[in-house]
Amino acid sequence: MSNLSLVAKIREVKGKKVSSLRKQGQIPAILYGHGSKTVSLVIDEVPFAKIYQQAGESTLVDLKLDNKEPIKVLIHDIQYDALTDRLIHVDFLQVKMDEKIHARVTLKFVGEAPAVKELTGILVTNLNEVEIECLPNDLVHEISVELSPLKTFDDYIKISDLKVPTGIKILNQADETVAVVQEPREEKEYTTTVTEETAPASVTPAAAGTAEDSPEAKTKEEKK
C-alpha cells in the first residue's frame, strides 16, 4: 500500500463549540503519544473517511500539520454519533519508528474449508481481528487465515496456527480458537395429527337472503 497522508490543522475551538465545525464538514481530533502534550486538531471529514477506509487502525499515516514535517501516526480511536452514526471525533497516536507498538489487525479468511464443501458443515469464526506487537515499519493491514486445514468437524484453527510475517507477535492467547466448522443442523419434520378435538369448528353458511329481507327489516320499511 502506498503512503497515505492527511492534512490537519491546530484547533482553537473547543468544548460545545466544536459542533459548529461538524456543520462545516470538519471533525475535531486529538494527537498524542510518547508523553508529549495532547494537541487539539481539526480535519476534513471526506478526506479522512477515504483514508480510514484504506488504513483502518493498523496502517501508518503521514499527518501533515501546519506545513511541518509529516508525523507518523496511527488512527487509534474513532467515535460515532449514537443516533446518526456520523463520525464525530478521531484520536491519532504518534509513533516512533524504533519503538514497538500495539495495533489491532483484521483477519482475512481465505480459501474454503473441506468440511464445509464436502460435509456441508457451517463455518464459525470466533475472531475477526487480533492484537499484535511490532515495529511501525512491520505493520500489516491484515493477516490471512487459510481455511484448508478444516477437513472434519473435529479440526479447528488456533492463534498458534496463524502464519504472520517476521517481526510481528500476536498478543492473543495461543490456544484461542479462531475458526471451526460445525455440523449442519438437522431439520426435523413435525407431523400434526388433526383430531375432532383440535380440528377447527365447521362454518355454517349464512341463510339465503339479507337482513333487509328479514321480517324485522320489512316491518321497519312498512312503518316508514
Catalogue all structural domains in the chain, each as residue range(s) with its CATH number. Answer: 4-95 (2.40.240.10), 102-182 (2.170.120.20)
> According to the model, what pLDDT value does residue 162 have?
97
Contact 141, 129 (CB under 8 A): no
pLDDT at 211 (0 to 100): 43
Sign of dihedral through CA atoms 192, 196, 200, 203?
A: positive
146 to each of 3, 35, 97, 153, 191, how far by Cα in Å?
A: 28, 40, 31, 16, 43
- Report the candidate in 92, 89, 65 with the shortest Cα–Cα distance to residue 15: 89
Q: Tell me the residue type at 160.
A: S
* Closest of 58, 57, 49, 63 to residue 4, by C-alpha: 63
pTM over 0.75: no
Output the pLDDT for position 2: 56
Per-residue pLDDT of the chain (224 residues; tens, 9 = 90+): 558 999 999 998 777 778 888 889 999 999 999 778 999 999 999 999 999 999 998 899 999 998 789 999 999 999 999 999 889 999 999 999 999 999 999 999 999 999 999 999 999 999 999 999 999 999 998 999 999 999 999 999 999 999 999 999 999 999 999 999 999 987 655 545 444 444 444 444 444 444 444 444 444 444 44
- pLDDT for the residue numbered 18: 81
How far is the CA of 117 from the CAs of 126, 148, 151, in angstroms? 20, 10, 9
Cα 20–25–29 angle (5° rounding)? 75
Which pLDDT does position 19 carry in this prediction? 82
Whose cell is 502506498? That residue is 2
Q: What's the pLDDT at 138?
A: 94
CA–CA–CA angle 177, 178, 179 (5° rounding):
100
